[in-house]
Structure 1
Amino acid sequence: MNQQGVRWTAEQVLALAPDDASRRAGSRLGTAGPWSGGGSDGSGAVWGLCKGSGSRPYQTVVDTKGPAYKCSCPSRKFPCKHALGLLLLWAADGEALRGSDVPDWAAQWLEGRRARAAGKGEAGGGTPAKSTDPEAARRRAEQRSARITAGAEELEQRLADLLRGGLAAADRSGYGLWEETAARMVDAQAPGLAGRVRELGAIPGSGPGWPVRLLEECSLTHLLDRAWLDIERLPEPLAATVRTRVGLTAPADGPAVRDHWSVLAQYDTSDGRLTTRRVWLYGRESGRTALLLSFGAAGRAPELALPVGVTIDAEVVPYPGAGQLRAELGERFSPPVPGAGPPPGGPVADAPAAYGTALRDDPWLESWPVTLTGVIPVPSQEGAWQMADADGGAALPVTPAALGRPGLWRLAALSGGRPVTVFGECGHRGFTPLTAWSADTPETVALT
């Protein structure tokens, strides 16, 4: 793509897969056998016809500038196995997809997609559209604010009753009361508070020390409640963070930052209702870190997918809020190209210090992106792991959630007992490794 000269690696393609099943199925389609009518051009498009179980082949086209995908198969996954197989074929064998005329079925989708992107860019360059009825919009905002306030006051009463009855007895009432309280927060149009209530309900009886964990989370929920109820007294950056935490959405309206953004990591989390995809970027010229979020509901994978280890010449637009790294991906000026190296980093002791500094702006922050240099993954007792400075200066525990992932063993194999550079998230539970680099293997190795 990119004039046929720079191609992704198979690992970067497979990092786009929405799940392991798609990764395995896509790998089986990454050979020339099932494909016909394939081609690619210098503008970032790849297309092909994949033989399936029916009489007609599936029409698959990929725009790597997104990347974005279109396939005539019935799959609801993005990318589907056919798009993954097509990209794997392109990455492995340039001759199999030599440049050719774009077929009508692919050209129609590509032209429509690029016309929409151009229209969005033009709209973004002008004055934002205003509401046709500003007074009605103001009244709706006031009504929602009043509902959230009523919900926050009700939640404060629920927390007070919990403390009055004693945290140690919280597991006797079961999860039903928590779910009822969460539903009340949804009715109050405060989904952020509803999510925190559900997390509180999952703590009682969850293992040794759960009353302490429950007290900690209750304290943070109480702090968010009080911050909302006194929001007019807060400085605007912190007030914006509070509004985001309770569930009020705000558009990305900061100044656009154009840079060569390295894709450091991508991974999904799910709460059973919604799948959230997190993509970490690092600006090579600006030195800024940005977090892209996308969502998929009802079993659908989020559409945004960027290969780990590539660099994109693009704009990102930040969201408001104190210490917020979330941004929206704006105009892209070229297809992604491989070659993203690690961002600047430091020793283990710098990681919790950076997280602590970030908590001053956002007390509800779960973790903060950091890069550890010169560290060695070290197993400790009872299956736990640590990231330790090679010089023995300090060590940081790996989060329990990361212990069961195969990426941790991949990291150990990459290190082989030698120092490596690791990018991940540092929080109150420890460090979650996401990507790594070694002196012997300069490519970015995804650990998720």
Structure 2
Amino acid sequence: MTQQGVRWTSEQVLALAPDDASRKAGSGLGTAGPWSESGCDGAGAVWGLCKGSGSKPYQTVIDTNNQKYKCSCPSRKFPCKHAIGLLLLWSADEQTVPDGSAPHWAEQWLKGRTDQPPTKRENNPVEAANRRAERRADRITTGATELEQRLADLLSGGLAAAERPGYGLWEETAARMVDAQAPGLASRVRELGAIPGSGPGWPMRLLEECALLHLLDRAWLGREALPDSLAATVRSCMGVPTAPQGQAIRDSWQVLAQYDTADAKLTTRRIWLYGEKSGRSALILDFGAAGRAPGIALPVGLALDADLTPYPGAGQLRAALGERYGTPTTPEALPPGGTVTEAVERYGQALLNDPWLETYPMTLTGAIPIPPKDGADDWQLADANNELALPVPPGAAARPAVWKLVALSGGAPIRVFGECGHRGFTPLAAWPEGARQPVALP
């Protein structure tokens, strides 16, 4: 899962949780407050004392190399919520969980594991990992099959009837997908629950999203016949954790935009980069548990000399940030762009590789913000030649982003970076006339 001595990401930690309840409870313990005497060593051990309801704190110790856990709490789940919380703290805070020597109670358990004769599972870590992956795949297959039946029942009963059961039906279905260890399916099912009754045309929107969900289900069930790159994309959409693969790409990466989205469990940070030499766009994702800010923060408008390793998948832009060299500098040139028409065409081409792609990065070289009419909330970005215009999604128009873009442009064409998708174009940064660095749009 990780090299010895390398701290895991919060995404990797939360993927270990045995169920959604453990994931939520562990996220709540991923802060320094309840912990004391926590530490780690270079051999893969992590330990700490967690304050509980009793007079004595729970003793938690973890062997990260072999993914083994020991806690004095009465839970029968492995890892328990205390182990998850300690790992989240360890992954995010080197000061709270510093390097050191294990206390006596932790050392005893660790020494006992070292003195034990190796088991067959420990002798074959690759086989053990393969067995775990097979068991998870079987659970996801069960969940996908069940979801197919639920979608068939929904369509046979008529989409108009989807408004009556309320959100509870969708939440219950999403919980079933979480139990099946398919968080990607669960997330998409929850989004379905917000569509019925959401305004004019909601049955059509619901049908479109059901069709994409059905396509994802069928792709998973027939994944063995898919090309390797497309199968990797399907696994990613399902929420199966994957590691970056391939050779690292060293480049001068311009930081074009950075923003956070949050829910009750995670804060997700999206960072868009552009390679000046490679001409590649890349997306860095980082996560913070239970309202905590993600650990990676990059300076928007500057360029980093750094290594990026791509994740597998057809048309995937996500990459892992590796070693950085030197300090950030001012970009040598502006990233290339195109017209609104070209943005739509590029998004369409990207959908050929990933039909579930929500957005695609694009720089518009000469866009004019068009205000709404008659008190509506339908801002648009139009080409300077007025051949085509893209709507700005209401979520973006509700922010000061559009008004800041108007102030920067003064009604004239302006270079804008953002995400182009089926809902329109969300502006994230803009270059005022003559500027070499973009201005972030809040």
Q: Same fold (TM over 0.5)?
A: yes
> 2:405 maps to what in 1?
411
> 1:400 maps to what in 2?
394
> Which one of 398, 403, 428 corresponds to residue 422 of structure 2?
428
8 Å CA contact 2:334, 2:436 repeated in 1: no
Q: In 1, Cα distance between the equivalents of 2:216 and 2:379?
A: 33
Deviation at 1:419, TM superposition (A): 1.4
8 Å CA contact 1:423, 1:433 repeated in 2: yes
8 Å CA contact 1:238, 1:321 repeated in 2: yes
Q: Which stretch shows the higher mean deviation, 215-224 or 392-401?
A: 392-401
Q: In 1, Cα distance between the equivalents of 2:124 and 2:438?
A: 48
Please list the CA deviations of residues 261-304 of structure 1 after superposition, one character each: whole Å capped at 9, or x if unmatched. Answer: 00000011123321110000000001000000001121111111
Identity %, equivalent residues: 65
SS of residue in 1 equivalent to 2:387:
coil
RMSD, aligned CA = 2.0
Q: In 2, Cα distance between the equivalents of 1:131 and 1:313?
A: 40
> 1:60 maps to what in 2?
none
Supply the AA of the counterpart residue of 2:208.
Answer: E
> 2:161 maps to what in 1?
169
> Which one of 192, 197, 213 corresponds to residue 184 of structure 2?
192
Q: In 2, Cα distance between the equivalents of 1:239 and 1:344?
A: 31
Q: In 1, Cα distance between the equivalents of 2:274 and 2:412?
A: 25
> 1:247 maps to what in 2?
239
Q: In 2, Cα distance between the equivalents of 1:377 and 1:390?
A: 10
Supply the AA of the counterpart residue of 1:228.
Answer: W
Supply the AA of the counterpart residue of 1:308.
Answer: V
Q: In 2, Cα distance between the equivalents of 1:238 and 1:131?
A: 33
SS of residue in 2 equivalent to 1:205:
coil
> Which one of 269, 274, 283 corresponds to residue 275 of structure 2?
283
| TM value normalised by structure 2 | 0.71
> Which one of 352, 358, 373 corresponds to residue 360 of structure 1?
352
Q: In 2, Cα distance between the equivalents of 1:249 and 1:443?
A: 35
Supply the AA of the counterpart residue of 2:276.
Answer: R
Q: 1:415 to 1:341 in 2, by over 3 A?
A: farther
> 2:309 maps to what in 1?
317
Please list the CA deviations of residues 201-250 of structure 1 after superposition, one character each: whole Å capped at 9, or x if unmatched. Answer: 11111222111111110000000000000001101100000011011111
Q: In 1, Cα distance between the equivalents of 2:123 and 2:395?
A: 44
8 Å CA contact 1:263, 1:340 repeated in 2: no
8 Å CA contact 2:174, 2:185 repeated in 1: yes
Deviation at 1:340, TM superposition (A): 6.5
SS of residue in 1 equivalent to 2:197:
coil
> Unpaired runs of 5+ in structure 2?
1-88, 100-121
Q: In 2, Cα distance between the equivalents of 1:447 and 1:363?
A: 28
8 Å CA contact 2:244, 2:311 repeated in 1: yes
> 1:135 maps to what in 2?
127
Q: In 1, Cα distance between the equivalents of 2:222 and 2:331?
A: 48
Q: 1:172 to 1:258 in 2, by over 3 A?
A: same
SS of residue in 2 equivalent to 1:333:
strand
1:203 aligns with 2:190: no
Please list the CA deviations of residues 67-118 of structure 1 after superposition, one character each: whole Å capped at 9, or x if unmatched. Answer: xxxxxxxxx9xx9xxxxxxxxxxxxxxxxxxxxxxxxxxxx97xx99xxxxx
Aligned residues: 325
> 2:363 maps to what in 1?
371
Supply the AA of the counterpart residue of 1:420.
Answer: I
8 Å CA contact 1:262, 1:341 repeated in 2: no
Please list the CA deviations of residues 138-177 of structure 1 after superposition, one character each: whole Å capped at 9, or x if unmatched. Answer: 2211111111100000000010111111111111111111
1:308 aligns with 2:307: no
Please list the CA deviations of residues 363-397 of structure 1 after superposition, one character each: whole Å capped at 9, or x if unmatched. Answer: 00001001101221111322321111112222111
**4+ residue runs of structure 1 moved beyond 4 angstroms?**
none
Q: In 2, Cα distance between the equivalents of 1:353 and 1:134?
A: 43
> Which one of 298, 301, 305 corresponds to residue 290 of structure 2?
298
8 Å CA contact 1:341, 1:444 repeated in 2: no
Please list the CA deviations of residues 409-430 of structure 1 after superposition, one character each: whole Å capped at 9, or x if unmatched. Answer: 1110110011110010100000
Deviation at 1:341, TM superposition (A): 4.9
> 1:259 maps to what in 2?
251
> 1:96 maps to what in 2?
none
> 1:62 maps to what in 2?
none
Q: In 2, Cα distance between the equivalents of 1:396 and 1:443?
A: 24
Higher relative contact order (CA 8 A, sep 6+): 1
8 Å CA contact 1:342, 1:421 repeated in 2: no
> 1:389 maps to what in 2?
383
Q: In 2, Cα distance between the equivalents of 1:254 and 1:440?
A: 38
8 Å CA contact 2:347, 2:360 repeated in 1: yes
Q: 1:134 to 1:428 in 2, by over 3 A?
A: same
Please list the CA deviations of residues 47-77 of structure 1 after superposition, one character each: whole Å capped at 9, or x if unmatched. Answer: xxxxxxxxxxxxxxxxxxxxxxxxxxxxx9x
> 1:32 maps to what in 2?
none
